[in-house]
Amino acid sequence: MAPRISMDGWSFARDGYGAGIPVGQWYPRPFFTRFRQATRHQRHFRSIMETPQHGHEPVLLRQVLQLTDPQPGDIVLDCTVGRGGHAAAIAQRIKPHGLLLCVDVDPTNLEYAKARLAGLEVRCRFFQANFAELDEILSAAAIKSVDVILADLGVSTNQLFSEKYGLSFSIDGPLDMRLDPRISQNAADLLGSLPEKELADLIYALSEERYSRRIARAVVEARRQEPITRTKQLADIVHSVTGPVRHGRIDAATRTFQALRIAVNGELDHLKTLLQTLPKVISRGGRAALISFHSGEDRLVKQAMREWRYDGKCEILTGKPVTADEPELMNNPRSRSAKLRVARFGRTDT
């Protein structure tokens, strides 16, 4: 490859590199070249340091709109409204007579979405609730069926990097992890009370962490000295087993934190309940879009969609899950693990 001297986004043409660019001149590198040339470290660093506008960048937005195709007047249920990114774009499609039902377990995010959507010319209703409580939400809204259901699972960027939630080891904070303040047991309680074997099984089942047994043993030894109550404390315990870094940019503590978050918030159980209720509340011709961020979630969504199809309830619009393209990965590195699956209900031949 021709030699290059590079600055951020710029290259210096040398020895004939760069067709048509005079040797010895600075020129902007094309977008994709810059993306490929950014090191993983740079991309990861950027993902942490840049707080997106509204605290969260909606993932796979274009694809969600394309595949769910919200129409003017539709009733749309956003099960995880978060910072309102997907909801704001959907509102533009369904206005002025459409209805947006916005659900989130986190009152802080729900309030933010409420303020963000307030200026849009569409009717909105807000529910601080778990999407597992779909029946109750719809009966409170006096709605029997909805045209589009979206569930963008997991956590938003502002939640991930706020010390209040204790979800990330990159910021020291209380080891809480509850998104829903109604939950009584936080991550510190769980770590303090689970027997070693149960803890190891939990970490393995929810994150496929291969050092789960050794991490559980280290946690049990550490908690004999003092309670584990801070994110940094837990990260240090995990690192004492695994070393500080593994698999390039992925920190060794990532999986353990993920497993605890899923357990504290009962994420897989709530998703199962949503997937059971969903076909009963979606209209004929309705579209359901689910975005998952780890294999446990995606497996449940894939299985549910296959069952719905087997029962003749829907067709699956995404043979393979839709993932982020290069420009989105460049702009929002957290989209790298997002997988979108969409089903359309009430096939005409059923």
Ligand X SMILES: C[S@@+](CC[C@H](N)C(=O)[O-])C[C@H]1O[C@@H](n2cnc3c(N)ncnc32)[C@H](O)[C@@H]1O
* Enclosing H/E stretch for 88: helix 85-94
Query: Residue 211 or residue 257: which is nearer to ligand X going by CB?
Result: 257
In sequence order, the 6+-apart residues with CB closer than 8 A to the CB of 102 are 78, 81, 84, 87, 110, 113, 114, 117, 124, 125, 126, 127
When asked if residue 158 is in the footprint of ligand X (CB under 6 A), the reply is no
Task: Write the binding mask 120 to 149 for ligand X: x where contact by CB under 6 A, - elsewhere.
Answer: ----------xxx-----------------
Give dist(CA 345, CA 347) in Å, integer.
Answer: 6
In sequence order, the 6+-apart residues with CB closer than 8 A to the CB of 82 are 56, 104, 109, 113, 152, 156
- Report how far apart, in Å, the C-alpha atoms of 107 and of each of 80, 102, 157, 350 are: 12, 12, 15, 40
When asked if residue 296 is in the footprint of ligand X (CB under 6 A), the reply is no
Least separation in angstroms between residue 88's CB and ligand X is 8
Query: Would you tell me the crossing angle of helices 267-281 and 254-264 to the nearest 10 degrees?
Result: 60
- Residue 161's CB: how many other CB atoms inside 10 A? 17
- The interface with ligand X within residues 2-61 (CB under 6 A) comprises 56, 58
When asked if residue 101 is in the footprint of ligand X (CB under 6 A), the reply is no
Among residues 76, 77, 85, 167, which is the contact residue for ligand X, using CB under 6 A? 85
Query: Residue 28 or residue 181: which is nearer to ligand X going by CB?
Result: 181
Cβ atoms of residues 287 and 181 within 8 Å: no
Token reading at 12: 């210096």
Query: Residue 132 or residue 216: which is nearer to ligand X going by CB?
Result: 132
Among residues 67, 68, 82, 229, which is the contact residue for ligand X, using CB under 6 A? 82
When asked if residue 294 is in the footprint of ligand X (CB under 6 A), the reply is no
When asked if residue 86 is in the footprint of ligand X (CB under 6 A), the reply is yes
Among residues 179, 234, 262, 305, which is the contact residue for ligand X, using CB under 6 A? 179
Task: Write the binding mask 252 to 291 for ligand X: x where contact by CB under 6 A, - elsewhere.
Answer: ------------------x---------------------
- Return residues touching ligand X (CB under 6 A): 56, 58, 79-80, 82-86, 103-106, 109, 130-132, 152, 154-156, 179, 270
